[in-house]
């Protein structure tokens, strides 16, 4: 009976830490790329210090941090309520671009984008457009100029006009609207990329290496339009092919090899935001030990 009780206790401990890990990781993921992330880092430092002060029996510092932490939580709820409200509204949603748009709305948006790209190509003006799919592009949107505008061919063309201060960066379309322009994308470091491709193609490939966004590139030098998705470059697509290719990708579900289902999923999960998962695990363990200490203290 004693061995069974010990095994049940260990199993409960593991389950509690895993659940805490899951919750903390998703909270960290939610704040990643927003202006609240710096404050969140400060709170994490306070939590670690709080745990250490308790373990070392430093009662004065423990009392001060307890009061400070309570005030911090209230301040965060007030200051960052727009981010919290937006996150709760999106909670549980996947394929955001598709779910929020009817078929005719999606067709209209894609036609406006493709029409703008054709006109820019004829005018020998370059462009870089990213369409958010599943992976959030919030961190890139925050670095650009926020627009939150309706997608239209005229607006896209005006943004990339050479005299416009936003024409050098990328434009991001999120949930069927132009979220921001003048955004900076990471450049690919792939040494095998042909030198004929310029900065826009390198930026498109760089973004595709980090997210599942659909990136469209208009090259004024090469006089062509390219589509980049998951580090693959599609060239020489006519307007109709481009239209159906984008729709196909937006509705595409990731395929998992049948023989490597679990291995593939585990590898993908571990390699996606590994440092964030490690920090969440450490915090989960600290929180568990803190709560256990509090429970024992109040039980006596």
List the CATH number of the domain containing 112.
3.40.1700.10
In a domain, residue 260? The reply is: no
Q: What is the mean pLDDT of the chain?
A: 78
Shared-domain flag, residues 81 and 124:
no
Shared-domain flag, residues 85 and 113:
no
Main-chain phi, psi angles of 64, to 5 degrees: -65, -45
The CB-based long-range contact list for 157-163 (8 Å cut-off, 24+ gap) reads 157/116, 157/119, 157/120, 157/125, 160/120, 160/125, 160/126, 160/127, 160/218, 161/125, 162/125
Shared-domain flag, residues 136 and 227:
yes
Q: Decide which of 237, 256, 287 is a domain's last residue.
A: 237
* Tokens found for residue 232: 């693959």
* Tokens found for residue 212: 């599942």
Shared-domain flag, residues 73 and 88:
yes
Residue 192 has pLDDT above 50, yes or no: yes
Scored b (16 or more CB within 10 A) or e, 274-285 reads eeebebbbebbe
In a domain, residue 190? The reply is: yes
Shared-domain flag, residues 79 and 195:
no
Q: Is 82 helix (H, G, I), strand (E, B) or coil?
A: helix
Angle made by CA atoms 101, 107, 230, in degrees to the nearest 5: 80
Shared-domain flag, residues 84 and 114:
no
Residue 107 has pLDDT above 80, yes or no: yes
40-90: per-residue pLDDT in tens?
Answer: 677 777 777 777 777 777 777 777 777 776 676 677 677 666 656 655 555
228-247: per-residue pLDDT in tens?
Answer: 998 888 987 888 889 999 98
Region 9-31: what's the mean pLDDT? 81
CA 275 to chain centre: 15
Shared-domain flag, residues 140 and 73:
no
Supply the range of the domain harboring residue 284. 2-92+274-299
In a domain, residue 176? The reply is: yes
Q: Decide which of 237, 262, 285 is a domain's last residue.
A: 237
Q: Decide which of 184, 215, 237 is a domain's last residue.
A: 237
In a domain, residue 250? The reply is: no
In a domain, residue 262? The reply is: no
User: What is the number of structural domains in the chain?
Assistant: 2
Closest to 109 (Cα-Cα) out of 132, 92, 88: 132
Shared-domain flag, residues 278 and 187:
no
Shared-domain flag, residues 110 and 196:
yes
């Amino acid at each position: 009976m004693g061995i069974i009780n010990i095994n049940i206790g260990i199993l409960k401990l593991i389950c509690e830490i895993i659940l805490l890990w899951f919750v903390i990781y998703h909270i960290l993921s939610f704040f990643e790329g927003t202006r609240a992330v710096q404050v969140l880092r400060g709170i994490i430092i306070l939590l670690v210090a709080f745990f250490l002060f308790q373990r070392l029996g430093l009662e004065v510092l423990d009392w001060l941090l307890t009061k400070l932490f309570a005030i911090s939580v209230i301040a965060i709820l007030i200051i960052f309520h727009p981010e919290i409200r937006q996150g709760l509204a999106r909670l549980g949603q996947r394929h955001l671009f598709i779910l929020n748009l009817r078929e005719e709305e999606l067709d209209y948006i894609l036609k406006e984008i493709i029409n703008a790209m054709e006109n820019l190509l004829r005018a020998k003006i370059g462009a870089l457009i990213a369409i958010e799919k599943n992976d959030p592009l919030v961190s890139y949107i925050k670095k650009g100029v926020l627009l939150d505008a309706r997608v239209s061919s005229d607006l896209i063309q005006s943004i990339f006009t050479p005299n416009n201060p936003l024409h050098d960066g990328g434009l991001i379309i999120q949930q069927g609207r132009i979220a921001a322009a003048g955004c900076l994308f990471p450049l690919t470091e792939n040494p095998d990329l042909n030198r004929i491709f310029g900065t826009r193609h390198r930026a498109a490939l760089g973004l595709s290496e980090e997210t599942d966004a659909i990136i469209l590139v208009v090259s004024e030098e090469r006089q062509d339009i390219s589509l980049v998705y998951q580090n693959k470059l599609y060239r020489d697509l006519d307007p109709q092919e481009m239209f159906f290719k984008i729709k196909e990708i937006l509705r595409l579900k990731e395929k998992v090899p049948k023989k490597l289902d679990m291995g593939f999923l585990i590898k993908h999960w571990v390699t996606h935001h590994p440092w964030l998962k490690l920090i969440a695990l450490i915090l989960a363990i600290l929180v568990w030990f803190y709560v256990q200490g509090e429970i024992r203290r109040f039980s006596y």
